[in-house]
A and B are shown apart, each in its own frame.
Chain A
Amino acid sequence: MSNKRQIAVLALLGAGAALAQDVPLEGRVSINLGKNSPVALAGMSTGDSHSSSRGAALVLDLHMSLMLRNTGSSRIHGVALRVVSQEVTVGGKGSVSIPSLNIGPGESFPVRIDMQLMRPTQAVGGPLVDVNLDGVLFEDLSCYGPDRLNSCRTMTAWEMEAQRDREHFKRILAQAGPNGLRRAMIESLARQAARPQLDVRVLRAPAVTSAALGPIRTEQFAFLEFPDSPVEPLHGWAQVAGNEARAPRVEVRNRSAEAIKYVELGWLVSDPGGRQYLAASLPAADPTLYLPAGMTAHVEQDTALRFTRDGQPVGIQGAVGFVSRVQFSNGKLWVPSRADLERGALVKLLPASAEEQRLGDMYRKRGIDALVRELGKY
């Protein structure tokens, strides 16, 4: 084939791959909010959802916008939806959550779900995507929902962080006025922009480490101590080779007077230049964990994390852990205080809470007066 014909064929293939088609979504999206749900579907749009070919694969871009209405009698502070595609899920699942809400009875709010599904063949019949309500968090921290993704625990922790951070900014407003608050918001936004980040991929693969990664070594964890933490990390390690860390394992002790059913640690690593990054959260793997007062347990995961920056592997070293979330057997949660985070310089390494992110965005777009009014609502 001549060069010009090859070009023409390639152009035709490229064009074929890029030509998008509308996806008929009637009957292909199933939305289930549950019986006696405190939210009702007030409207739905599938916007410009479309499919396209990419090589031999079919790519479906689904853009859904749901309008949910609070049909209960309590204010809603968070919602979590479980999103699954039975045809494509490959052992995975997704969720879309909206924390930091403040929706009164009878009020409506939008939830956007943008999904991309890729599969090698054409679709068969039946729902393409199932959207199920997983949890609704109320103002009093009670929760409704099947909670298959532990959304209630996650949303409660977000809400506690939101209360903590609102109090922090309200205190600044009371002590230093709007100018002090403005300065604090600018510092927060600058800190978020400057926060060091690595690209991390999580592999659930057979425990075979590539020879190219280099020799495997065991990195011992060092720990940041929070005086008011109900859990004390004792010792731990992870296997590290090149830019890969796997199988972290940390022993913790319950130093509170109450039994504990969930522990989550934060895990920091350093690059060869000594710069620290938040690598991952490290939750306890055992869903039936029960840790009585004074007893110890292991927090461990059997996955591998690979670290890159700008597509290049980043060799990692060191491992630092800290307790980031604890749930007692009575359902109550503990999260680090603002003082804990500032004491360990963690405030520069950890992402801002969802609420601090929301308040920062509000200040950026609507100014200090809008932010002062917003803080006054709580």
Chain B
Amino acid sequence: MKHPNQATLALHAGGDLGAISGWRTRRHVARCADCRAEIARFAECRQIVSSLDDAPEMHWNRLAAEMKANIRLGLAAGECVGADEAAGARPGWSLARVSVALAGVTALLAVGLLLERPGPNVARETGVVVQATGDGIQVRQGGQSMGLMHSGTSRDAVTYQVGAQGSVEARYVDAETGYVTVNTVDVE
């Protein structure tokens, strides 16, 4: 008996085959236990993958506020440049122009990082390690760790400071409360 190939079985498991291929595969599967089992496994995998595929929760209002703030900043910086030029400022790379460029790059980076947060670093050192990760700061030893996270804030918007005594501080403006929040982890 000639079995359908893996791709056909996978498409069949998802109901994605065309009418003729689907009819042909259904006929084969009805009398082939091996292919039925294979399709069941594909269906199981599909279910798992779809649960993995859930989009992370996006804080659309927060994202919109960030984008609005960055646009406002860009416009304000532009006005400053315009004012400079109207006043007969020197041509070339004035501080205001550099500011506009930096503000634009920062806005792009901030939005990019919000949409795709980098994964945490993995400490390979032995002993106790204190470090910043992609979305927080942590103290780690072996397979154990304790971290304070700055959820909902892009890494670029966080100011990190290290203490040589064994501490890391992450400072950011909480988008929900509007307060500056300082998270610190350190080694006793």
Q: Are B48 and A14 neighbours in the complex by a CB distance under 8 Å?
A: yes
Smallest distance from the beta carbon of B127 to chain A beta carbons, Å? 3
User: Does B29 have its Cβ within 8 Å of any Cβ on chain A?
Assistant: no
A123 in the interface, Cβ–Cβ < 8 Å?
no
How many Å lie between the Cα of A69 and that of B126 in the bound state?
A: 43
Rounded to whole Å, the gap between the CB of B130 and the closest CB of chain A is 4
Residues of A within 8 A of B69 (CB): 361, 364-365
| B interface: dominant SS | mixed
- Considering only residues 300-318 of chain A, those with a C-beta below 8 Å from chain B are 301, 303, 305-306, 311
Given the known A-B contacts A18-B51, A187-B95, A365-B69, are A92 and B163 also in contact in the complex, defined by CB atoms under 8 Å?
Answer: no
Residues of the A chain whose Cβ atoms lie less than 8 Å from the Cβ of B162: 200, 202, 279-281, 305
Contact assessment for B164 and A301 in the assembled complex, using a CB-CB cutoff below 8 Å: yes
CB distance from A350 to the nearest CB of B (A): 9
Q: Does B159 contact A (CB under 8 A)?
A: yes
Q: Count how many chain A residues have C-beta atoms less than 8 Å from C-beta atoms of the other chain.
A: 90
* Given A12-B48, A114-B149, A194-B102, residue A97 in contact with residue B182 (CB < 8 A): yes
Q: A88 at interface (Cβ–Cβ under 8 A)?
A: yes
Minimum CB–CB distance for A265 against chain B, Å: 9
Partner of A116, one of B73, B83, B128, B138: B138
The residue from A109, A186, A205, A351 contacting B128, defined by CB atoms under 8 A apart:
A205
Pair B188/A202 contact, Cβ less than 8 Å: no
Distance in Å from the Cβ of A322 to the closest Cβ of chain B? 14
Query: Which residues of chain B are within 8 angstroms of A100 by Cβ–Cβ distance?
Result: 179-180
Question: Is the C-beta of B4 less than 8 angstroms from some C-beta in chain A?
Answer: no
Question: Would A97 and B184 be within 8 Å (CB), given that A205-B128, A303-B165 are in contact?
Answer: yes
Residue A89 interfacial (CB < 8 Å): yes
User: Taking chain A's interface residues, is the majority helix, strand, or loop, or is none over half, making it mixed?
Assistant: mixed
Instruction: List B residues 46-83 near A (Cβ within 8 Å).
Output: 48-49, 51-52, 65, 68-70, 72-73, 76-77, 79-80, 83
Flag if B184 contacts A95 (CB, 8 Å). yes
- In the complex the two chains form, what is the Cα distance from A160 to B87 in whole Å? 37
- Interface check B115, CB cutoff 8 A: no
Q: Which of A167-175, A229-237, A352-360 contacts B (4 or more CB under 8 A)?
A: A352-360
Contact A186 B139 (CB under 8 A): no
B128 A204 Cβ-Cβ under 8 A: yes
CB atoms of A98 and B179 under 8 A apart: yes
A90-B128, A202-B130 known; A110+B51 contact, CB < 8 A? no
Least distance between B28 CB and chain A CB atoms (Å): 18
Whether A141 sits at the interface, judged by CB under 8 Å, is: no
Interface pair A8/B164, CB less than 8 Å apart: no
| Residues in chain B within 8 A of chain A (CB atoms) | 6, 38, 41, 44-45, 48-49, 51-52, 65, 68-70, 72-73, 76-77, 79-80, 83, 95-96, 98-99, 102-103, 105-106, 121, 123, 125-132, 136, 138-151, 156, 159-168, 171-174, 176-188
A sample of 17 cross-chain residue pairs with beta-carbon separation below 8 angstroms, ordered by A number, consists of A7-B45, A8-B41, A88-B144, A96-B148, A112-B181, A114-B151, A115-B146, A116-B147, A118-B147, A120-B143, A199-B131, A203-B127, A205-B127, A280-B163, A285-B165, A301-B165, A368-B76
